[in-house]
Chains A and B, each alone.
Chain A
Amino acid sequence: MFESLSQKLDSAFKSIRGQGRLTEKNMKDGLQEIRMALLEADVNYKVVKKFMAEVLEAAEGQKVLESIHPGQQIVKIVHDELIKLMGEKNEPLRMADKAPTIIMMVGLQGQGKTTTSGKLALKLKKSGRKPLLVGADVYRPAAIQQLEVVAKQAGVESFSLGTNANPVDICLMARGEAQMRGCDVIILDTAGRLHVDDQMMNEVRQIATQVNPTEILFVANAMTGQDAVSSAKQFNDVLPLTGVVLTQMDGDARGGAAISLIEVTGCPVKFVGTGEKLEALDAFHPNRMADQILGMGDVVSLVEKAQEVVDQEEAIKFQKKARKGEMNLEDFLKQMQQVKKMGNMADLMSKIPGMSKMMPADAMDQAEDEIKYVEAMIYSMTPLERKKPRIINGSRRKRIAAGSGTSVQQVNGLIKEFDKMKKMMKKMMRGGKGGKRMRGMAGPPPGLGR
């Protein structure tokens, strides 16, 4: 099967690990492996060339450290160089000093501009802004309807003038519209276009010069290949790009395009798209991305994400109860709903290093299915049964099974599992360490505890 970039690098270093010393020769082999891995990860070949020269230069100046494996030493060098290339820290969205802030989304066809516009709107809304989504794609069939639906889903305002209007006019009018509706951020969803289509590139240039956006974000798919360099370069030549959004990062593409895009545009990646739900937009953290590329995982971002979704107060209440062993099925249900809000479990799991190896994808999927059953069972219980699972006797179990479309065995399983978990949580919470690190996460989801 196809290995991830991090696995590739792992195996590249394995061959020189344990040799004790970093010689010119064994470093060369390792670097050649990295070069191939980067190419297979879709980093543009010119970018790879430049990057490898930098790595070599950085490595050559260094003394061989006797205390660590040569592989580790190279990992550190490559890691540092990757971070240097991607920028040291996450760059937040620019906000205009005087409202409105105007964010313009541009890119090739089918990259996810409309969905990302909706995600951004939702994020801004959550942070207390009032965004206006503007449909400026008059070409693709039903693109404007799509934006309107997305706006409704995000609970934000939208504006468009139908498919007969000129996109430049639409964008120009958005300003007044925003003012009228009291919106302080305008998000312009422009049509996807080819960088070699002069007429369309001219249109997007006109929009940019006349509207003068605060941010112009180039939206590109994480699966993009070598050509990322040519399209990004052309867009960057025509428009003053300010950032990149990398979509479909929840797939298994190795995402080398990120490195190409940063190198070519000189712009930071500001966000990454990690799913089809509107919540699935994460900040880009160069350090973590480098970690991820090198197989060190992305635990921090997972924990942060969990914290964002989980109601803090609820979580604290739950922790107290869990520590005392007083958790009931009502709490259990709430926790599960929190977990579900975090999005596809498989996405989350894939961020934990080693997890994807330990748990095959279908096992994670089963876990999601299990949540559905567990939910149905708990919904079929009376409030008293949820609070005091002890009272659930044989006849109650039969009723619950019938009500939830499950079997008595499944109900038995749930109660047994719940008991076990309650004990385990009590132990874990008292233990301190584990509980602290995963604060806000509030315990493992059911089905994963086994």
Chain B
Amino acid sequence: MPDDYVTATFMPSGAKTEALMGANLIKAALEAGIEVDAVCGGKGACGKCRAKIIKGAVSETTASEAEHLTTEELKNGYVLLCQRKALGDVVIETQPERARLDNHAPAKGKLMDAALEVAPPVAKTYHQLARPAINDQVADLDRVLSRLPGEKRADVKLVTRLPALLREAGYCVTSVVLEDELLSLEKGNTVSEMYGIAFDVGTTSVAGYLADLAGGKVLASLASANRQRAHGADVVSRITYTMEDDNGLAELQRLIAQTIDEIVSGLLSRSGVPAERVYTLTFIGNTVMSHLLLGVSPVGVASAPFVPAFSRSLQGTAADLGLKSLPAYTRFVLLPNVAGYVGSDTVGVILATRIYDLPGTWLAVDIGTNGEIVLASGGRLLTCSTAAGPAFEGASISQGMRAEPGAIYQVRMENDVELAVIGGTKPVGICGSGLIDAVSEIARIGLVKSSGRIKDPRDLPPGFPASLMRRIKQDGNSYKFVLAEGEREVAITQSDINKLQLGKGAVRAGIEILLNELNLQPSDLDGILLAGAFGSNLRPASLKGIGMLPEVSLDRVKSVGNAAGTGAILALLSKRQLETVLALPERIEHVELSLHGGFQRAFARGLSFKVENHVKQ
């Protein structure tokens, strides 16, 4: 290596990369294939890209590091990767590969029944062709095409393989036909080997479901972090990256293709399915992810008037997406989006839950950084999107973390605090579900005013359990509530509550506005469906407890798992379902909240915590 190159080694995996002298460490980590939590996209604002320098020279501490790391930590070699440059060979320790705990299992039971009529758009047929003879000089291609119903086209690439293939196969071949195209020809009878993969492309993680199209069942599923995360946690920072870096758009497209390739390889090796037998893919995702998947600039979505480049369903080949793990002939369908912030993932939820033709009045809520809400009643189908913010996922919360070992994920309070920690270890932070539980409990036992302000311990009624009261501590001008005491304290601060409040208030406002559009009351709801890898893992009681969901009895709130993913699977397995989903956007009425006159009032109301005093006062 010439002098101006350095080697960066990342522990514990030992992954290495050669980087230019002075290269940014977060870029080096990315090159080495290390997953980094660059929530703010490397701006030094989130403090989530921390790592430890084991050996080697790096650039000076920056002001943003001073904000996010203690002097002690800095002394011990902790850095924010995005803030440092490599000034020689370096060895860096990053967080261990995390266990993904999001629930990516597709919704089971009822939802999947919809796909019972398994009839994929792909057809495979076995042909025993007549061998050519001097009195049968029909060309190879015509010999095949003449056996297929209707007019079919064949790709040049297929034709180049044809002469050898037919002769080797002794003219016994299986054709693979999608609509009017002969996708592939295979030696022998392979009719029963027909596979497809459905993808749910999320901003945070991507899930793939490998399905046996002939048998109509999912054989394997796999989720993986979206590699684009190195360029920010939310869609806005990803769009910003495409604007600030000339290669940004191409890079994000490459990263999502890489993520998909990794998932495909994992699925294939697990199931033993050969790549050549995968014919169709379906994709769902939010509007921005849909754009980035195709390498189309989503810049219009970033700011008002929030106009996407496309919203209709688009189709193409694996090669168009730059996928290396699948044959070029594999076809994909990207399901339709509705608006800048209501994507095909929401359309997938509508399809999977069949909310579009359930009798009665139903609400589906998909909670993530963005909360998408669907209301179905009397044949009408309304959607809106509210900016919930990353608070629900633990980002932007003072001790927030993703659902990884060490995260508090459940909180109960009776006479004292009871915590459940992922991995059963000592708590080091709190993830979204833990935060929502905690705040719901804090509100329930009356530790906050309805405005969200943590009470001065002196204002608590006499007889309030001392074990709880003791946990309220002064924190600057306000108070914090300590969940885990001791050396590594984990607490909920006033500002954490406020951030959660803004997010839940926005979702609640969205719900109320949709109900109001149809002159409905919460009591008219037959049920609320909680969708999403994230949202469906939250306790309905806690969501109600923080006032995000309206007053409905808890037995009407159902978690439906990753319904968006199920939607993608349905569209993969059944042509009818695909047709249904393609026609859904015409029926959907999108309610834009940005300019909605009722938003402010609904939001102000939605912010409050209705405090019920269960603890004796």
Q: Do A and B come from one complex?
A: no
A interface vs B, CB < 8 Å?
A: none
B interface vs A, CB < 8 Å?
A: none
